[in-house]
Chains A and B, each alone.
Chain A
Amino acid sequence: MEKDKSKWKETRAGYGEGLVILGERNPKIVVLSADLTKSTHANLFKEKFPDRFFQFGIAEQNMMGAAAGMSLAGCIPFVSTYAVFATGRCFDQLRVSVCYSNCNVKIEGAHSGLLVGPDGATHQSLEDIALTRVLPNLTVIEPCDVIEARKATLSSAEIYGPVYIRLVREKTAIVTAEDSPFTIGKANVLRNGKDVTVIACGPEVAEALLAAEEAEKEGIKVGVVNLHTIKPLDEETIVKVAKETGAIVTTEIHQVACGMGSAVAEILSRTYPVPIEMIGVKDRFGESGQPYELLEKFGLTSTSILNAIKRVLKRKT
């Protein structure tokens, strides 16, 4: 993991880079924006391929429906907006026009979670995993860093069907390398453990790795799984690490209710029940503050993960 903060980058940048590569590879790629072209990094595509860029103004419901229509015309549309709008503002269009019709639409949920920072609760999407993972046909991905975000963007165009890619505004640690594996639906075990496994997604993967290093100093062997694909879940890997370590901590920048941790618990409760501690936002809205101040305040940093590791260890029989 790259700890030098000067090399950190925002995952939305990986989306922008991915769009340009895709644009060069495939003339069917089109990009849609609702007046957030620069902050979603869709502007990189717009500059290179202006004919395949479509502005929809501040009207996300129409944009989502139009994306469904464009896919029916043979295009591969990438809907670029913030996570709150992509999933909340136009949930019904996502549900009926896109997912129920199984349209080949890719959706960028930029600015997810608390790392939006000072803009505050309206713009901090803490519900989008819940809203997307209940939709049939929809694939849900939260890349852990900018490199993985680029790979996720590229891979999303390789599969048929709707894909939601959850991204963040703030620069985050580089966890993976160019040659790290990335396959949609296949979780990556970054660290093998003996005592407990932390399953994380998005920027929490870096926090989980830090927590694991700290735990190691105290003699606790902690595994770390990068669960970049939240739907479909890699059941095999989740059950495997549960069997190997007998205890799980999940961590995500999202409500604990109905999030990634809940998805993990759903699988383990019916296949291989082990004690689970879940890190996330606990039934409250976000607030203004600097991104990492907020992670601290909401208990989402490596310190909180380490505490959860210790709690779950006590529950092991």
Chain B
Amino acid sequence: MEIAELEKRAKKIRFDIVRMLCKAGSGHPGGSLSAVELMTALYFDQLKHNPKKPDWEDRDRVIFSKGHACPVLYASLAESGYFPVEELMTLRQLGSRLQGHPGKDKGLPGIEISSGSLGQGLSVGIGLSLGFRLSNNSARVYVIMGDGECDEGQIWEAAMSAGHYKLDNICGVVDYNRLQIDGATEEVMGLEPFAKKWQDFRWEVIEIDGHNLKEVINAYRKAKEIKGKPTVIIAHTIKGKGVSFMENQASWHGDVPKGEKAEVCLNELGKCLEDLNGEG
């Protein structure tokens, strides 16, 4: 897909995220907005998938490990056609398939596994990757992680095993927005030297600007060509990207704009959409 067209999708997804969170009245905007381009590039350009056949055996798998940021996952799935966009407005409501954190048992098409207890997705991805290798399935596995969740020991157990098994059908993606609930990642629990950690665990590392769609797509393409070891894309991003008062503010990790503030951000994002549509 053309970059201009992808940008349009990204804007729409951002708008969906804020709209559904404002409606829900709770949730996690910061880490949803920082991952928009990472998810847009996957669902609209890179993934081998068919929204009409969500159970297709040979599809690429997206394991969304940073489960709290599921609004970006739900919006990406809905905009891809997995389910009606209007269903996004049921987020976090009683009986909804759009749980506060993804629940596989609720039957929402495109949800591969329940997640939300941080640090678990990479292991699931590694299991898929080993399983595909065993059955000669050429599907790829993408694991979307937060930076804060890399505090979890399980991430590094998983990283070690992917390096050990030389898994090259798995691509880790870290949304490195440098903020977690209690503040800056470096202050809460220093991750640096972050790239070196992954390299030391035998991973290929690609560092990019996670909001530059061209860079994001090139990174996914390059990862496909790396053989004999796993690849992680460390995407430098801005938490709350796209909403002026949310950008780089840890306080918007798990808080949702209400009243006037909600109108401000919907207007900001809505205007971006109109501008784009006007151009189109």
- Give the B-binding residues of A (Cβ under 8 A): 30, 51-52, 54, 56-57, 59, 61-75, 77, 92-93, 95-97, 100-103
At the interface, yes or no: B26 with Cβ under 8 Å from chain A? Answer: no
- Give 20 pairs: A residue, B residue, CB < 8 Å, sorted on A: A30-B134, A57-B161, A61-B153, A65-B120, A65-B121, A65-B122, A66-B123, A69-B123, A69-B125, A69-B130, A72-B61, A72-B127, A73-B127, A73-B130, A75-B131, A96-B117, A96-B120, A97-B123, A97-B124, A100-B104
CB distance from A209 to the nearest CB of B (A): 41
> What number of residue pairs across chains A and B have CB atoms under 8 A from each other?
113
Besides A54-B130, A62-B161, A101-B113, 7 more A-B contacts (Cβ < 8 Å) are A61-B157, A63-B123, A74-B131, A74-B135, A93-B120, A96-B116, A97-B114
CB <8 Å contact, B113 and A70: no
In the complex formed, the residue of B with least CB distance to A67 is B127
At the interface, yes or no: B57 with Cβ under 8 Å from chain A? Answer: yes
A100 to B164, CA, bound (A): 28
Main secondary structure of the interface of A (DSSP, over half): helix
A74 to B117, CA, bound (A): 24
CB <8 Å contact, A62 and B130: no
CB <8 Å contact, A65 and B158: yes
CB <8 Å contact, A71 and B127: yes
In the complex formed, the residue of A with least CB distance to B143 is A69
A64-B123, A101-B105 in contact; A92/B117 too (CB < 8 A)? yes
A51-B134, A65-B154, A70-B130 in contact; A59/B116 too (CB < 8 A)? no
Name which of B117, B132, B161 has the most chain A CB atoms within 10 A of its CB: B161
Size class of the B contact interface (CB-based, 8 Å): 35 or more
A69 to B132, CA, bound (A): 10
At the interface, yes or no: B150 with Cβ under 8 Å from chain A? Answer: no
CB <8 Å contact, B105 and A102: yes
Name which of B116, B129, B158 has the most chain A CB atoms within 10 A of its CB: B158
CB distance from B54 to the nearest CB of A (A): 13
- Give the A-binding residues of B (Cβ under 8 A): 57, 61, 63, 103-105, 112-117, 120-132, 134-135, 137, 153-154, 157-158, 160-161, 164
CB <8 Å contact, B154 and A68: no
A61 to B121, CA, bound (A): 11
A232 to B120, CA, bound (A): 27
A74 to B61, CA, bound (A): 13
CB <8 Å contact, A93 and B154: yes
A102 to B104, CA, bound (A): 8
Name the A residues within 8 Å of B114 (CB-CB): 96-97, 100-101
Name the B residues within 8 Å of A62 (CB-CB): 123, 126, 154, 157-158, 160-161
CB <8 Å contact, B124 and A73: no
A30-B134, A92-B117, A96-B115 in contact; A68/B157 too (CB < 8 A)? no
A201 to B61, CA, bound (A): 41
